[in-house]
Chains A and B, each alone.
Chain A
Amino acid sequence: MSETEPLQFRDPEQAEQLADRLETLMADIDEPVSLMHVCGSHEQAIAKFGLRSLLPDGLSVRMGPGCPVCVTNMPEVDEAVAIAEQGATVATYGDMFRVPGTKKSLADARADGASVEVVYSASEAVELAAANPEAEVVFFATGFETTAAPTAAILDADPPSNFSVLSAHKYVPPAMEVVAEMPDVDIDGFLAAGHAATITGYGLFEPFVETYELPIVVGGFEPIDVLLAIERLLEYVRDGKAGLENAYPRCVSKAGNEQALETMWDVFEKTSGEWRGIAEIPGANLVLRDAYAEYDARRRFDVEPLDGGPDPLTEQCICGDIMAGKADPDECDLFGEECTPSNPVGACMVSSEGTCKIWDEYGGHPNL
């Protein structure tokens, strides 16, 4: 494609040209290639527009740990439930409401009489606290960089004293390193998430590319965006090179949103933590710095870990393997049977960013 030709993001002719280009590249490479995306919105675009049906034989695009709701660990949900059961009002994003904890979800806690509110933004949680000064309002804060920066912003804006944050925020780049190092995960390149890179910039992937000698291309979410990013990745694979490229320049810069990053790192620091079903990942959980201790729900409430293991059904859930790119949802015995959007076993079936929910929505294996 000509570099000066404007992209029409749904132009079938351009999609066909790109599909032909992928065929040519795969013929040159002449061996299977496995790429990984790390964003639920990429999986949605791929499923919704049937992009897997355009991929040549031998090319697979796997899901990675790209859904923040899905990677929120059960004990983190347990903490939120326990705090709600102590009488505080827990406010959280809609996606988190029905995610199962070890014993119950926040929805279950609410049904049992606890105060749980769904909010659309971090600032709504603060407004809830301001409007209810007699209540302790705890914002169960989840998500990657795009929501961590807003959470940081509200803590920087002097919220009321009855407000605190239970941070389950996650930071994606270290998780990509862990997945890249998994011996049974064989990935030839990463399709990085365009919106997270709007905040972080794409420059932060430079050390990763150098260390792991894998290509990374930042991609947008239109069908042509996704195909173009895959095409760029295959060129690197064909040439046997690592490299970093931004295929989403209309939103992403190298430095990112520096004010958002400054606010985020002013409030949060990285710590080691378990990503649900995947691994303990160094530096991939975001916790409040000491300077913000007064707003840290973990310091304000005394929450003991729950005794006993999770529901036996949960142990059959393969969400971890799915998010590490080792399995597809239809390889799970529970998929569409015991585990459905209305009665989810694993977090991947709850969130609109979750691979199982997306596959369920598009009728199973979304090739067409």
Chain B
Amino acid sequence: MCLGIPGEILEIDGQVAQAEFWNVEKSVRLDIVGEEVSVGDYVLNHAGFAIRKIPDDEVAETMALYESFLSGDEADALEEIGATDATLEFGDRPAARTGEKPVASTDRVPRGPGDARTDPEADSEDDV
């Protein structure tokens, strides 16, 4: 679905950031986010691009909302972040706003040839 999924910025290199979505790490482009973003900020990701910086005072509410929503719909969420072969891990996200950094999972998303995500026969349904 075209909901956009919120993630926390871990690193920024020019217009490309590494962001973490419930322990899944993905690259997100910052070209059109429209605001200055820094490490620790949360952005709404849509098809690989951050389309909005989530204001600090809305982060907790937004994350709780998405956790409620996604817990039954991990497949949708994984499609949104282009990581259909990964596993979302819920539970430690609130730590991100209390100073304790969540540990990025080693479930790094495979890239390049052979990646299940790029195999059309896997019935990918990425949104447009």
Of A118, A142, A143, A353, which is within 8 A of B124 by CB?
Answer: A118
On whether A198 and B51 interact (CB within 8 A), knowing A69-B128, A150-B29, A352-B125, the answer reads: yes
| Nearest-CB residue, chain B, relative to A146 | B46
On whether A94 and B125 interact (CB within 8 A), knowing A120-B82, A153-B31, the answer reads: yes
Per-residue CB contact flags for chain A residues 130-168 toward chain B (1 = under 8 Å, else 0) read 010000000000111011011011101100000000000
For chain B, residues 97 to 128, give those with C-beta under 8 angstroms from any C-beta of chain A. Answer: 112, 117-120, 123-128
B95 interfacial contact with A, CB 8 Å: no
B68 interfacial contact with A, CB 8 Å: yes
Of A39, A121, A150, which is within 8 A of B2 by CB?
Answer: A39
Min CB gap A289→B, angstroms: 17
A202 interfacial contact with B, CB 8 Å: no
| Nearest-CB residue, chain A, relative to B69 | A222
Looking at B15, B126, B127, the one whose CB has the most chain A CB atoms below 10 A away is: B127
| Nearest-CB residue, chain B, relative to A92 | B128
Per-residue CB contact flags for chain A residues 3-45 toward chain B (1 = under 8 Å, else 0) read 0000001100000000000000000000000000001110010
Q: Once the chains bind, are B65 and A222 in contact (CB under 8 Å)?
A: yes
B4 interfacial contact with A, CB 8 Å: yes
Q: Once the chains bind, are A149 and B49 in contact (CB under 8 Å)?
A: yes
On whether A259 and B62 interact (CB within 8 A), knowing A41-B1, A93-B126, the answer reads: no
A276 interfacial contact with B, CB 8 Å: no
Q: Once the chains bind, are B118 and A142 in contact (CB under 8 Å)?
A: no
Q: Once the chains bind, are B4 and A157 in contact (CB under 8 Å)?
A: no
B60 interfacial contact with A, CB 8 Å: no
Of B3, B117, B126, which is within 8 A of A195 by CB?
Answer: B3
Per-residue CB contact flags for chain B residues 15-49 toward chain A (1 = under 8 Å, else 0) read 10000000000010101111000000000101111
On whether A118 and B51 interact (CB within 8 A), knowing A41-B3, A93-B126, A94-B125, the answer reads: no
A121 and B48 alpha carbons, distance in the complex (Å)? 5
Min CB gap B13→A, angstroms: 13
Q: Which of A250-258, A312-320, A324-332 forms part of the interface with chain B? A: A250-258
Q: Once the chains bind, are A122 and B46 in contact (CB under 8 Å)?
A: no
Q: Given the complex, which residues of B lie within 8 Å of A123, measured CB to CB?
A: 27, 29, 48-49
Looking at B33, B44, B69, B125, the one whose CB has the most chain A CB atoms below 10 A away is: B125
For chain A, residues 219 to 252, give those with C-beta under 8 angstroms from any C-beta of chain B. Answer: 221-222, 250-251
Q: Given the complex, which residues of B lie within 8 Å of A41, measured CB to CB?
A: 1-3
Q: Once the chains bind, are A257 and B128 in contact (CB under 8 Å)?
A: no
On whether A122 and B48 interact (CB within 8 A), knowing A149-B32, A259-B32, the answer reads: yes
Q: Once the chains bind, are B124 and A97 in contact (CB under 8 Å)?
A: yes
Q: Once the chains bind, are A121 and B52 in contact (CB under 8 Å)?
A: no
Q: Once the chains bind, are A156 and B31 in contact (CB under 8 Å)?
A: yes
Min CB gap B81→A, angstroms: 8
Q: Given the complex, which residues of B lie within 8 Å of A40, measured CB to CB?
A: 1-2
A277 interfacial contact with B, CB 8 Å: no
Q: Given the complex, which residues of B lie within 8 Å of A120, measured CB to CB?
A: 47-48, 82, 117, 126
On whether A107 and B120 interact (CB within 8 A), knowing A44-B1, A96-B128, A157-B31, the answer reads: yes
The 10 sampled A-B contact pairs (Cβ below 8 Å) are A10-B68, A94-B126, A120-B117, A131-B112, A147-B47, A147-B128, A150-B31, A221-B3, A257-B33, A258-B34
The residues of B with any CB-CB pair to A shorter than 8 Å are: 1-4, 15, 27, 29, 31-34, 44, 46-49, 51-52, 58, 61-62, 65, 68-69, 79, 82, 112, 117-120, 123-128
Nearest first, the 9 closest Cβ-Cβ pairs linking A and B are A121-B48, A120-B82, A94-B124, A143-B128, A153-B31, A259-B34, A260-B32, A94-B126, A150-B49
